A = this chain, B = another copy of it.
Amino acid sequence: MKISFRGDYALKAILDLSLHYNKGLVRIQEIADRQDIPIKYLEQILLALKGAGYLNSQRGAKGGYYLAKEPKKIKLGEIIRLMEGPISPITCVSKSCYKRCNEETKCVFRPLWNKIRSLTEGVVDQVSFADMCRDYETKNKKKLDMYYI
């Protein structure tokens, strides 16, 4: 799996909205400023997230976005799959795999890719945005720098 800017932005946007869950509407501009994301690009991403049912919005003056689900019910993996596609080191599912795996090698690497995929899924499908909010607040409270290199 690889996280592109698009996916990274989406995760940050959902985190931002999770931190404002049940606190009213949040304007795109606010998210863009706080998370340092180009606003017009963010606009498209939020639209996609809304299309997938994660966000609701209100148009017009005083409008904005808000989370359509509880943060604890959104797992990181959902957002990653939505933005990046399947979580697997190789695009090797059923039919399309046969193109890569010929008779000779008999796809001897496949079990490894499956292993990596399931380990990765074990991480991203376990963690919710409620967890991330908790981490975020803990970190800010304690002013920890341990996560920085």
A101 to chain B: which residues have CB within 8 Å?
148
A41 within 8 A of B: no
Closest B residue to A138 by beta carbon equals B108
How far, in Å, is A75 (CB) from chain B's closest CB? Answer: 12
How far, in Å, is A147 (CB) from chain B's closest CB? Answer: 5
A6 within 8 A of B: no
User: Across the interface, do B147 and A90 meet the contact criterion of CB distance under 8 Å?
Assistant: no
A62 within 8 A of B: no
**Copy number of this protein in the oligomer?**
2
User: Across the interface, do B132 and A89 meet the contact criterion of CB distance under 8 Å?
Assistant: no
Interface size of A by Cβ–Cβ distance < 8 Å?
Answer: 46
How far, in Å, is A62 (CB) from chain B's closest CB? Answer: 23
On A, residues with C-beta under 8 Å from B are: 1-3, 5, 8, 11-12, 15-16, 34-36, 76, 89-90, 93-94, 97, 100-102, 104-113, 115-116, 119-120, 123-124, 127, 132, 135-136, 139-140, 147-149
The 5 closest A-B pairs by CB, nearest first: A119-B119, A36-B102, A108-B136, A34-B104, A3-B90
